[in-house]
Amino acid sequence: MGVAPATTKPAAKPVPQRGWRRGLYAVTRINPGLSREERRQLELLTRIRRPIRGSYEIGVVGLKGGAGKTSVTAALGSVFAQLRGDRILAIDADQAAGNLADRIGRQSGATIADVLADEALSHYNDIRARTSINAVNLEVLAAARYSAARRAVTDEEWRRAIAAVPRYYNLVLADCGPDLFDPATRGVLAAASGLVIVSSAAIDGVRQAAVALDWLGHSEHQALLSRACVVINRVAPGETSPAVDDLVRRIERCVPPGRVIALPWDRHIAAGTEIRLDLLGDAYRRRITELAAALSDDFDRGVR
């Protein structure tokens, strides 16, 4: 007597969550399928939730202050934390003017120096006791306030710090200062698996992004170019020009496709207060999610 071949049920069609499609399904139970925007959001979510092999470290850098590196780090880390749901840490690596903890709601006075001084560091809770955390569970390890800092942290100490935390976090972001030769930034670049270069949308800001890419291509960190994203951050309303657009097109030739992200000006970001995802404008939220997805495409490639 033969055995009937096993059959598998086709995967259920996703139910729409918004618009007339959701209304039609609620009233008639007829499922018209997802809208184009919902399909796009599902695709981004799938990419962002890609498994990470080990731990993955992302440096956020730039050559000019005022470009919005810290707000990008806070918003990007929050998107990762909300959509992935695993342990994610953002470290403030700006030793001169770091305020990352203030952008997510500072709850701890501890800093990276306290982690380095703890020779008994052996559990997640040893670090968690020193971090601040926001509503979507992004943790932040603060930099010492400049007036209270006893001394600068060396690049070797930063390498030790970056090497210590991946045992406890799936994803680590480091918000660097505006000097690629700063000891902290050197330590971050030595450990990073991915990179975000942030510039303002002003012509001098975009030029600095091009300089950073050129420097990267001639440095010992050249391999990061294939895992780099460039963020053109509009820190003022209507900030753009044909000359900037031309520079952006040139930058797009230096990195893989889809890795130059233009962030629009956002009223909530511009306020300079604690960043909350639910208060971001739709356009900014969409673009920062696209940045997270682009970086996530490298997760299954593992670390450097």
Confidence grade of residue 1 (pLDDT, cut at 50, 70, 90)? very low
User: Tell me: the pLDDT tens digits for 155-207?
Assistant: 777 777 777 888 899 999 999 998 898 888 988 999 899 999 999 998 888 99
The answer to whether 247 touches 253, Cβ cutoff 8 Å, is no
Report the alpha-carbon distance of residue 251 to residue 202 in Å, rounded: 14
In a shared domain, residues 37 and 118: no
Q: pLDDT grade, residue 147 (50/70/90)?
A: very low
Q: Is residue 304 one of the residues assigned to a domain? A: no
- 86 and 38: one domain? no
Q: Are residues 86 and 32 in the same domain?
A: no
Distances (CA, A) of 61 to 39, 87, 128: 32, 22, 25
Higher pLDDT, 299 or 159: 299
1 found inside a domain: no
Give domain status of residue 45, yes or no: yes
Q: What pLDDT score does 100 carry?
A: 94
Average pLDDT over residues 101-121: 86
Looking up residue 113, the CATH number of its domain turns out to be 3.40.50.300
Is 44 or 160 the better-scoring residue by pLDDT? Answer: 44
Q: Are residues 227 and 203 in the same domain?
A: yes
Residues 221 and 239 placed together within one structural domain of the fold: yes
Q: pLDDT tens digits for 77-95?
A: 999 999 999 999 999 988 7
Residue 303 domain-assigned (yes or no): no
Region 22-48: mean pLDDT is 71
**Residues 119 and 264 grouped into a single domain:** yes
* The residue count for the chain: 304
Same domain as 116, residue 33: no
218 occurs within a structural domain: yes
Does one domain contain both 43 and 172?
Answer: no
- The yes-or-no verdict on residue 17 having pLDDT over 90 is no
The count of domains in the chain is: 2
Task: Compute the mean pLDDT over every residue in the chain, rounded to the nearest whole number.
Answer: 85
Helix axes 69-84, 36-48, angle to 10 degrees: 90
Of 2-11, 123-132, 176-185, 293-302, least confident by mean pLDDT is: 2-11
pLDDT band at 11 (very low <50, low <70, confident <90, very high): low
Rounded to an integer, the average pLDDT of 114-121 is 81
Is a pLDDT exceeding 70 seen at residue 210? Answer: yes
Domain annotation covers residue 8: no
If you average pLDDT over each of 124-133, 216-225, 287-296, which comes out highest? 287-296
Whether 214 is covered by a domain: the verdict is yes
**How much of the chain exceeds pLDDT 70, in percent?**
84
- 44-52: average pLDDT: 94
pLDDT digits (tens, 9 = 90+) for 239-252: 666 777 888 888 99
What gap in Å lies between CA 75 and CA 292, rounded to an integer?
A: 10
Residue 84: give the domain boundaries: 54-297
Q: What is the model's pTM?
A: 0.86
- Look at 151 and 267; give whichever has higher pLDDT: 267
Alpha carbons 286 and 263: distance in angstroms, whole number: 9
Question: Looking at the predicted structure, is the pLDDT value of residue 34 above 70?
Answer: no
Q: Within a domain: residue 111? A: yes
Within this chain, do residues 26 and 64 fall inside the same structural domain, yes or no?
A: no
Instruction: Compute the distance between CA of residue 110 and CA of residue 115 in angstroms, rounded to an integer.
Output: 8
Predicted confidence at residue 37, as pLDDT, reads 75
Are residues 42 and 164 both part of a single domain? Answer: no
